Structure 1
Amino acid sequence: MADPRTTLALGLLILGLILAAEATPQGRILGGEDVEQGEYPWSASVRYNKAHVCSGCIISQTRILTAAHCVSDVGITPVDVNTLAVRVGTINQYAGGTIVNVNKVTIHPSYGNFLHDIAILEVNFLTFGDRVGAIALPSTEVEGSGEEANPEDVDAELPNGTPVYVAGWGELSDGTASYKQQKANFNTLSRSLCEWQAGYGYESVVCLSRAENEGICRGDAGAAVIDDQKVLRGLTSFNFGPCGSKYPDVATRVSYYLAWIEANSQ
């Protein structure tokens, strides 16, 4: 007959292994889950020398937004367009969809140190369909009022705690690159709370809160931050410290740049 102490010890060991497995990162984008094909048709994989480096967001059949630091050589001088391409129409960064050439890169003239971290890629004409399409840009009016929004009242656009969503091909929680696009949920932080938590309360950014060990990581920059109405509210920019730290993630606020986007999308 087995010694009860041995049986108890074995049971505790098995329980410990189960708990450890549950606590170990499960190969997701820091708390995200797989995207379904066609779920985020505005998504693009921005590629440098044929390798994925960042995400992008389709806003028209010839324009894609991404983070400026993804395509910057020095300051506002972009890398050679011949080194760039984008893959669209697939959730797999390695296969499927269509790879299109980049013909021009326009980096915001005030970009520097991750502020004004936005760039426009002019690409070959995209054919829209179920898996490729443009995201809606935000309105310059206060929703439902017909009045122009005050650009300084940034918390009126996205009040603290507004649910937003991001999908990208950034590193997974186990440190490997994700071949399949991942999505995750966030909540916005007010400007004052972002200033308090991270010392980063700029009008031109949107701060994103989430649990620790979740959030954006390398390869996610430039991904669309969308709201419940599938309107583009931001472009993921950077995270403080290691991925999934206690600090909020930061995105570039798209509404802040609407005039610049329009002027450079003709």
Structure 2
Amino acid sequence: MAVPRLALALLALSLLLSVAQSSPEGRILGGEDATAFDFPWSASLRHNKAHTCMASIISNTHLLTAAHCVSDMGTTPVAASTLGVRVGSINQYAGGQIVNVNSVLIHPSYGNFLHDLAIITLSEPLVFTERITAVTLPTKVEEGSAEEESTELPNGTPVYVAGWGEVSDGSAPYKLQKANYNTLSSPYCELAAGYGYESCLCLTSAEKEGICRGDAGAAVIDDNKVLQGITSFQFADCGSSYPDVASRIYYYLDWIEANAQ
């Protein structure tokens, strides 16, 4: 028997409230300082020498970010010469090193914040250290296997994000801020925000907590430090009661592997 839509909506609302209330403290919006070794794959993406978004290191020559951060118009990127990334520092203004960008590839299906993913290729390879390293990508499972059905994270899975986005008072922090979230599975995200796409990963947090301007492109990692998503956008004002949205990395593994050799 089909479950009435009202019952589903009430169930989703109850789940959102319970997840938000049980979430650990410490968010990017009004958040908690990260240490130098917590998120060594995190990079500050800089456009015309100013921080605009996050980027996440996946190899010594490639990073992932949100497509809208590097889009000039649609799938046409801004000039690579206007971009750079600061790596190896939790201070967005100093330390580490700034590396120039050689090229940018936006996902060919990007539009209206769907498929909001881009690959950045650096002009020179990074030298990995304790403060600069690649995040681990998910493991591809055989198509049609039993494991394929469980590639979406279970509802309420703890995940973690770090960024230099705006904090509670509207300022941009100089020190990297870290956040704890819980995932919201596709059916619940569809009910809560109309965004239950297979390509998306929805994140919940307490109200007035969450990602904000400047956090797009950050890695969403699980307890095993595996990259599960790249942050994309938040609905309405930062810290609203709506879930935040990321691009689900498992969905894009073939594209990433084909274009980030």
TM-score (norm 2): 0.87
CA drift at 1:32? 2.3
Number of aligned pairs? 235
Q: Deviations over 1:89-115 (max 9, x none)?
A: 000000000000000000000000000
Give the corresponding residue for 2:225.
Answer: 230
TM-score (norm 1): 0.85
Are 1:154 and 1:203, in contact at CA under 8 Å, matched by a contact in 2?
A: no
Cα distance between partner residues in 2 of 1:107 and 1:69: 9
Cα distance between partner residues in 2 of 1:73 and 1:204: 23
Are 2:29 and 2:165, in contact at CA under 8 Å, matched by a contact in 1?
A: no
Cα distance between partner residues in 1 of 2:145 and 2:30: 35
Are 1:88 and 1:132, in contact at CA under 8 Å, matched by a contact in 2?
A: yes
1:210 aligns with 2:214: no
Q: Which 4+ stretches in 1 moved above 3 angstroms?
A: 147-156
Give the corresponding residue for 2:133.
Answer: 133
Percent identity of equivalent pairs:
68
Letter in 2 for 1:206: L
Q: What runs of 5+ residues in structure 1 fail to find an aligned partner? A: 1-26, 142-146
Are 2:85 and 2:100, in contact at CA under 8 Å, matched by a contact in 1?
A: yes
Secondary structure (helix, strand or coil) at the match of 2:161 reads strand
Give the corresponding residue for 2:61.
Answer: 62
CA drift at 1:29? 2.8
Give the corresponding residue for 2:18.
Answer: none
Letter in 2 for 1:40: F
CA drift at 1:31? 4.4
CA drift at 1:30? 1.8
Cα distance between partner residues in 2 of 1:168 and 1:41: 12
Q: Deviations over 1:162-204 (max 9, x none)?
A: 0000000000111001111000000000100000000110000
Give the corresponding residue for 2:93.
Answer: 94
Letter in 2 for 1:224: A
CA drift at 1:150? 6.4
Are 2:138 and 2:249, in contact at CA under 8 Å, matched by a contact in 1?
A: yes
Give the corresponding residue for 2:104.
Answer: 105
Letter in 2 for 1:192: P
Give the corresponding residue for 1:73.
Answer: 72
Q: What runs of 5+ residues in structure 2 fail to find an aligned partner? A: 1-25
Are 2:205 and 2:243, in contact at CA under 8 Å, matched by a contact in 1?
A: yes
Cα distance between partner residues in 2 of 1:185 and 1:165: 5
Letter in 2 for 1:131: R
Cα distance between partner residues in 2 of 1:221 and 1:92: 17
Q: How does 1:2-21 map to 2 (within 5 A)?
A: none
Cα distance between partner residues in 2 of 1:72 and 1:49: 14
Cα distance between partner residues in 2 of 1:181 and 1:112: 29
Q: What value does the CA root-mean-square deviation take over the aligned residues?
A: 1.8
Q: Deviations over 1:113-154 (max 9, x none)?
A: 00000000000210000100000000112xxxxx54769977
Secondary structure (helix, strand or coil) at the match of 2:170 reads coil
Secondary structure (helix, strand or coil) at the match of 2:189 reads helix
Are 1:31 and 1:184, in contact at CA under 8 Å, matched by a contact in 2?
A: no
Cα distance between partner residues in 1 of 2:147 and 2:73: 30
Letter in 2 for 1:35: A
Are 2:28 and 2:162, in contact at CA under 8 Å, matched by a contact in 1?
A: no
Cα distance between partner residues in 1 of 2:146 and 2:115: 15
Are 2:46 and 2:86, in contact at CA under 8 Å, matched by a contact in 1?
A: yes
CA drift at 1:215? 0.3
User: CA 1:149–1:243 in structure 2 vs 1: closer, same or farther (change >3 Å)?
Assistant: farther
Cα distance between partner residues in 2 of 1:245 and 1:85: 31
Letter in 1 for 2:250: S
Cα distance between partner residues in 2 of 1:256 and 1:149: 14
1:188 aligns with 2:183: yes
Letter in 2 for 1:208: L
Give the corresponding residue for 2:43.
Answer: 44
User: CA 1:106–1:91 in structure 2 vs 1: closer, same or farther (change >3 Å)?
Assistant: same
